[in-house]
Amino acid sequence: MTNNTICLLPGDGIGLEVIPITTEILEVLDVGLTTESHPIGWRCFNETGTALPKSTLDAVIHSGIGLFGATSSPTGGAPGYSSPIIDLRQQLNLYANVRPAKSLPIPSSRQNIDLLIVRENTEGLYIRSEHWKDQDTVIAERQITRAGSKRVAIKAAKYALERKGILTIGHKSNVLSLSDGLFLQVVRDTAKSYAPDIEIKEQLVDSLAHDLITQPETYDVIVTPNMYGDIISDLTSALVGGLGVAPSANVGDNCTIYEPVHGSAPDIAGKNLANPTATILSLAMMLEDLGYDNASNRLKSELHNTLVAGIYTPDLGGEATTETMLTSILEKLTK
Ligand code: NAI
Ligand code: MG
């Protein structure tokens, strides 16, 4: 981080409701971090002709730390529009998408779950190479590289070392023997030499999806190519309360953008019903990564107490509004 300013990127829909609250929380936590908000997304595209203005990109690069909300993408696409978070991940080389799923004290969360998915974030099927071969056939290329697999393996092994010491590699090399075969081999070898003491497991991703439902408490860190991680991390978020509670971080070597996993939720946008938990947990991840462990723990603890008090939004079966949850957390933090 080059200064003490966090770049807020609210985006569209409920991003505009959940991201600004972090400014109030940081004020109360009083750790010396300030915020600065920058335009991004679909509304920005309609107003300025670009979804990711250069000034926004420069601000993220300068700060090195961003907090992104969500952006809307029109179904079927729009000429000239591309999802700015995918552009940010690629342009800033945010190669590891880190998505924890941890049990919460709410009826819709299963208990004893504490796992972390590390998804390769720049390659796989998301490299924008999809094209029409002829009018009946679309081809999409899938890129796996040694360098891309190695750097995400090091990140995942590092997390496994800090946690319970078990790393599961999710892959499909029985079918995709070249591409997933390379991913598996490089991740296995890299993790073994980087962290010889961790236990490394290999599992086909379909069987992994099955076991994440039947025995999620047995997993610690899971590393996968891009798309598998995208899919199974939504699955694991459902185990602990759903998209409204799922935080994440897009991690690179020079920059990290934290991000609630959910989208812009147009069905509830503007109604004060958005669950701020995913954003608050993303902020807690950020504080921990920046070394503010005490502030991070206080924030998580008061979120926990708010949930235990039954103060939560309708997506979790509660009756609270976004604002009521925030007020409860801020009140507890100022006591
Ligand atoms: P979504 O995550 O926006 O919504 C799915 C469902 O979960 C909706 O019923 C929504 O109300 C609910 N939900 C999501 N977050 C919630 C929260 N914090 N509190 C309470 N309920 C919540 O995904 P959907 O509907 O597939 O996409 C909507 C728009 O968001 C689309 O334009 C899509 O492209 C965009 N999107 C953007 C993402 C991003 O910017 N990273 C990620 C996913 C979708
Ligand atoms: Mg997703």
For 86-123, what is each residue's pLDDT tens digit? 899 989 999 999 999 999 999 999 999 999 999 999 99
Tell me, using a 6 A CB cutoff, whether residue 73 lines ligand 1: yes
> Is the domain of 218 the same as that of 286?
no
Residue ending a domain, choose from 218, 239, 260 = 239
For residue 101, is it within any domain? no
- List CB contacts of 123: < 8 A, sequence separation 6 or more: 143, 144, 145, 148, 225, 226
How far is Cα of residue 23 from the mean position of the Cα atoms in its chain?
A: 20
The phi-psi region of residue 145 (left if phi > 0; otherwise alpha if psi is between -120 and 50; otherwise beta) is beta
Tally of domains within the chain: 2
Give per-residue pLDDT as tens, 226-248: 999 999 999 999 999 999 999 99
> Is the domain of 85 the same as that of 177?
no
For residue 331, is it within any domain? yes
Question: Measured in angstroms, how far is the CA atom of residue 42 from the centroid of ligand 1?
Answer: 14
Give per-residue pLDDT as tens, 278-302: 999 999 999 999 999 999 999 999 9
Domain range for 27 is 1-96+245-335
> Is the domain of 234 the same as that of 250?
no
Residue ending a domain, choose from 239, 262, 282 = 239
44: tokens are: 């920005």
> Is the domain of 146 the same as that of 218?
yes
The stretch 137-142 carries a mean pLDDT of 95
Residue 277 is part of a domain; what is its CATH number?
A: 3.40.718.10
> Is the domain of 139 the same as that of 68?
no
**Ligand 1 pocket: which of 230, 243, 312 to mutate (most atoms within 8 A of CB):** 243
> Is the domain of 220 the same as that of 118?
yes
Tell me, using a 6 A CB cutoff, whether residue 71 lines ligand 1: yes
- The answer to whether the CB of 44 falls within 8 A of the CB of 53 is yes
Question: Measured in angstroms, how far is the CA atom of residue 237 from the centroid of ligand 1?
Answer: 13
H-type alpha helices, 66-145: 84-91
- Strand duo 249-251 + 96-102: pairing: antiparallel
255: tokens are: 């920059």
Residue-level pLDDT at 58: 97
Question: Measured in angstroms, how far is the CA atom of residue 16 from the centroid of ligand 2?
Answer: 19
Residue ending a domain, choose from 211, 239, 267 = 239
- Strand duo 5-11 + 34-37: pairing: parallel
In percent, how much of the chain has pLDDT > 90? 95
Question: Measured in angstroms, how far is the CA atom of residue 86 from the centroid of ligand 1?
Answer: 16
> Is the domain of 34 the same as that of 147?
no
> Is the domain of 45 the same as that of 114?
no
> Is the domain of 215 the same as that of 289?
no
Spatial separation of the C-alpha atoms in residues 88 and 92, rounded to whole Å: 6
For residue 104, is it within any domain? no
Instruction: Tell me the β-bridge partners of 115.
Output: 101
| Length, in residues, of the chain | 335
For residue 12, is it within any domain? yes
**Dihedral sign from CA coordinates of 303, 269, 242, 74:** negative
Read off the DSSP letter of residue 124: B
H-type alpha helices, the chain: 15-18, 21-29, 42-48, 54-63, 84-91, 146-162, 179-194, 205-214, 226-239, 277-289, 293-308, 322-334
> Is the domain of 140 the same as that of 78?
no
For residue 203, is it within any domain? yes
Q: What is the pTM of this model?
A: 0.95
Instruction: Tell me the β-bridge partners of 256.
Output: 65, 251
